[in-house]
Structure 1
Amino acid sequence: MHLLYCDESGSAPDPNQNHFVLSGISLFERQVFWLSNELDRIAERFDPAEIPDVELHGSPMMGGRGIWQPFTKADRIKAIEDALHALAKSHPSNRIFACVVNKAKVSPFDPVEIAFEQVSSRFDHYLARLHKNGDPQRGIIIFDKSTYETALQGLTTNFRTLGHRWGLLRNLSEVPLFLNSKASRLIQLADLVSYAIFRHYERGDDQFFKIIADRFDQEAGVRHGLCERL
């Protein structure tokens, strides 16, 4: 089973932001425990007594908001970089799927729907590729609890039964699951990945993006894991 942990960066309705990003980290089920432990060790630096209370989220970490206020910017940035490096150095089967949408260019269409269609279909195609190569696997998409929950579950059902523009979702075991990010280090890591991608496209800042740039799904030199609707 492959699990795709997803989160977004950028606000779809915010007129002051040009881009919306949805990204997911695909992990084979046995990789989840190892990577979660790596992230726990990073969180432990900031509150050894209450490690689960330290949530790794890009925007508050960068801005020093909430629980991050007492810590230096250098320490906060190092934590983001170390979390992304944990993914970058992890098993080669762990890979990123993401869609970057320029909201003005796709208007009046919903950037969330466009991004989800791209990410889910590319994840599905990846699973189909594994199957073709003799490794039959099913997948589940896991999101942070968000205002998009009902819409995304409906979209997945439609894609599986009516199809999207490239066909049907054939390799997913269930409609998306939604978790509280506090309960999942991998949802938090997906947030950091989306934040890194968002800063790259929205602000031209590749400080974090360059760490994960080689982890987008690719085959034979073709990068399938990053969609740009710019």
Structure 2
Amino acid sequence: MQILFVDESGTPPPPDKQHDTPFFVLGGLVVPEDFWSKLAADLNRLKTAFGITGEIKWRYFAPGKAGAKANSLSHLTPAQKEALRSKLYEAVRSYKSLRIICVATHVPLAYKLPYIKTADDLYWYSYKQLTERFQYYLQDLERTVGQRVHGIVVCDHRAPKDDARLRELHHQLLAGGKATASHYGNLIEGLFIAPSHLSVGVQFADMIAGAVFRHIKVKDSRFYAQIEPSFRRSPAGKVEGYGLVKFPKTGW
């Protein structure tokens, strides 16, 4: 069993605010079921070493502002935060069986497509690209090991209405409700939604999404470079289109 943990960086904006939020990233980390406990142990060890109680989120690494609400990393110095972030990415890299799959969406270009009308459409088609690559990855594994490989998807909890819509979209994909959808023969029915503070995998997916978002938006690849070896690749070693998918594919 392979588990795809998913979280986002940025929020899909409505058409009238597309230039305020020009990029949106869905970050995914694929974890084999027997490696989840190892990743959980790594996270707990790091939290203990850095004196952290509560969840770890990408936005908590930003410099603290006067009067801002405290978070689980507020007691750390900038240098300690950088060390922690590097250790988290090192944990991902250390397991060769973990794979990263992300979708980066260029919002203004996506809204030029005739089938993208709303923020929900942006999320839907980004999510579709992500789950398709997960399905392809499962098929690749199946050919390698010579037996059936199944997968499930675990997403971060959002607003109740957003969660309900995503469950329905996920069901449509697996049921073949969209003519343009791939065949999801390796995915087990149903979408699992978990609050990030209760999910080890979602916390790592959040850190991955943040690194890719910064890489795409401001061309700062310091953090992306630390996780780049773990991205899904083509047989020839290509990341783009396999582990890092741009939506739309062209124009940027």
- TM-score relative to the length of structure 2: 0.83
Q: Return 5+ residue gaps in structure 2 as ranges.
A: 65-69
Pairwise CA distance, 1:68: 2.1
1:100 maps to what in 2? 104
What amino acid sits opposite 1:78 in the alignment?
Answer: A
2:85 maps to what in 1? 80
Pairwise CA distance, 1:28: 0.7
2:193 maps to what in 1? 178
Q: Secondary structure at the match of 1:66?
A: coil
Pairwise CA distance, 1:180: 1.5
1:157 maps to what in 2? 171
2:137 maps to what in 1? 126
1:137-182, Cα deviation, whole Å (9 max, x unpaired)? 1100001111331222111111122246252221111221011111
Residues 123 and 30 (structure 1 numbering): CA distance in 2 closer, same or farther, change over 3 Å? same
Q: Secondary structure at the match of 1:67?
A: coil
1:211 to 226, 238, 241: 226
Indicate the larger mover: 76-85 or 12-21. 12-21
1:146 maps to what in 2? 158
Alpha-carbon distance in structure 2 between the residues aligned to 1:184 and 1:218: 26
Indicate the larger mover: 35-44 or 98-107. 35-44
Q: Return 5+ residue gaps in structure 1 as ranges.
A: none
Contact 1:117-1:164 within 8 A present in 2 as well: no
- TM-score relative to the length of structure 1: 0.91
Alpha-carbon distance in structure 2 between the residues aligned to 1:76 and 1:127: 35
- CA-atom RMSD, angstroms? 1.7
Contact 1:9-1:21 within 8 A present in 2 as well: yes
1:44 maps to what in 2? 48
Alpha-carbon distance in structure 1 between the residues aligned to 2:7 and 2:158: 9
What amino acid sits opposite 2:5 in the alignment?
Answer: Y
Greater Rg by CA: 2
2:24 to 20, 28, 35: 20
Identity over aligned pairs, percent: 25
Alpha-carbon distance in structure 2 between the residues aligned to 1:26 and 1:185: 12
Alpha-carbon distance in structure 2 between the residues aligned to 1:135 and 1:23: 27
Indicate the larger mover: 65-74 or 36-45. 65-74
2:61 maps to what in 1? 61
Indicate the larger mover: 10-19 or 177-186. 10-19
Residues 164 and 153 (structure 1 numbering): CA distance in 2 closer, same or farther, change over 3 Å? farther
1:4 maps to what in 2? 4
Q: Secondary structure at the match of 1:30?
A: helix
Residues 159 and 130 (structure 1 numbering): CA distance in 2 closer, same or farther, change over 3 Å? same
